[in-house]
Amino acid sequence: MSPLASVLRARGAVPLLLSSLVGRLPTAMAALAIVQLVRLQEGAFGLAGILTAAYIVAGAVGQPALGRWIDRSGQTVVLATAAVVATGGFVVMAVATPAAPAVAVVGAVLAGAFTPPLEPALRTLWPVMVREPRALASAFSLDAGAQELVFIAGPLLTVAGIAAFGSTGNVFFAAALGLLGTVAFAAHRLSREYRPERPALAAIPRRSPLRDARFRRVVAVLVGIGLPVGVLTIVVTAYGERAGLPDFAGWALAANALGALIGATVSALRPGTASPERRIALLAGLLGVLYLPLAATGMPAAVVLVAALVAGLLLPPALGRVFGWVQAASDPRHLTEANAWAISAINVGIASGTALAGLVVGAAGVGALPLVVIVASAVTLATSILVLPRRIPVQTTNGGTRTRGTGAAAE
């Protein structure tokens, strides 16, 4: 039996994966949904960027906190509580935009901070469902590839939701999908029965992943990776408005996610042999380069779609290497929190890119977007070179750390 077949036959794998993907849909819909919520009601790009950034940055802060709560208390109560509060936040934001921007920001913060941490929760459950190392590697690859399906579906669902329910109703639609998926995930027996504490490690003092300097450097790399991804939302929205193509942004973001799905598939089939940190450096640097063509904002729409697709190719391979690093380096009692910090870092980068691009366009017009794209790509390249760790820290049985060669650590 192939490793992938073993994963799909594992008890709980398919329902947990599917419910987590549905629950993650608001994350894939939010950036475009918020921008369209503002713009279709004649709000400013600056407000769109601020709301999007508030949502994503709040999520970046909330995800590690919720992950730490799961590591201490289990998944069920945390996921259910987060789902209810996040849904309320979406409702507040949708109703308050654009008439009451301060209230809308509060709603965006609540929706982001209490985004149910389904992604780290599922990554924590994979080793429970799948024991064999090759099958576990396939499980992580399957998770990464399936995540890209969410980011293909998210923008398209946003376009469909706006057409069916309007820009405000579309936000309600996204919130309902998230609530449904999270409840289904939290109700599954494996999620309900998950107990994080490892008795053999109980006497070892807990250490936050952020106390490790190497982990912090990887977090910086992830922030750099997220910058051009965040800029893309404003670039394609502005392009669509200027070209008179109201649905263009949704299709462009879906093309970007399709490129990411292709990259995830190729990466799973041909994982490569270089050390994890060299692969992370190479993939992150090249990712920044691939976003540069989007600085040419005068291209035909079809060319922009192709450029968006190509720009997405290297995101899953880069993130796959990073999450392999996290799996090898983290204290098992903090695995959910460590994964959440990694996810938060990429989201901070995305939020920063979206906010920067939105504010620049609001102040200087769409003519400044090429410079924003170039700066974001340059930061991605710089962080990939300057901040990358050379050795992996591994927790020892007495609570300290040691280092080891990393060539096989993320395999």
Residue 281 falls inside a structural domain: yes
Instruction: Summarize pLDDT for 106-163 with one digit per residue, the tens.
Output: 999 999 999 999 988 998 898 889 887 777 767 777 787 787 788 888 888 999 999 9
Are the C-beta atoms of 387 and 235 separated by less than 8 Å?
no
Residue 410 falls inside a structural domain: no
Residue 58 falls inside a structural domain: yes
Residue 409 falls inside a structural domain: no
Beta bridge partners of 401: 395
Residue 330 falls inside a structural domain: yes
Instruction: Summarize pLDDT for 159-185 with one digit per residue, the tens.
Output: 999 999 999 999 999 999 999 999 999
Are the C-beta atoms of 404 and 277 separated by less than 8 Å?
no
Residue 411 falls inside a structural domain: no
How many structural domains is the chain composed of? 1
Q: Could you tell me if residue 259 is left (phi over 0), alpha (psi between -120 and 50 degrees) or otherwise beta?
A: alpha
Residue 134 falls inside a structural domain: yes
Structure tokens at 332: 């098992």
Q: For each of the chain's 411 residues, which pLDDT tens digit applies? A: 666 677 888 889 999 999 999 999 999 899 889 999 998 988 888 888 889 889 988 988 898 899 889 888 889 999 999 999 999 999 999 999 988 999 999 999 999 999 999 988 998 898 889 887 777 767 777 787 787 788 888 888 999 999 999 999 999 999 999 999 999 999 999 999 887 655 544 545 566 787 877 788 888 899 999 999 999 999 999 999 899 998 898 899 889 989 988 887 777 666 555 566 778 888 899 999 999 999 998 899 999 999 999 999 998 888 877 877 777 777 777 777 888 888 888 888 988 898 889 889 888 888 899 999 999 999 999 998 765 555 544 444 444 544 444 433 333
Residues 219, 215: Cα–Cα separation, whole Å:
6
| Domain CATH number, residue 34 | 1.20.1250.20
| Residues spanned by the domain of 371 | 3-404
Sign of CA dihedral 15, 16, 17, 21: positive
| pTM score over 0.85 | no
Residue 331 falls inside a structural domain: yes
Alpha carbon distances (Å) from 293 to 167, 303, 317, 358, 372? 30, 10, 20, 19, 12
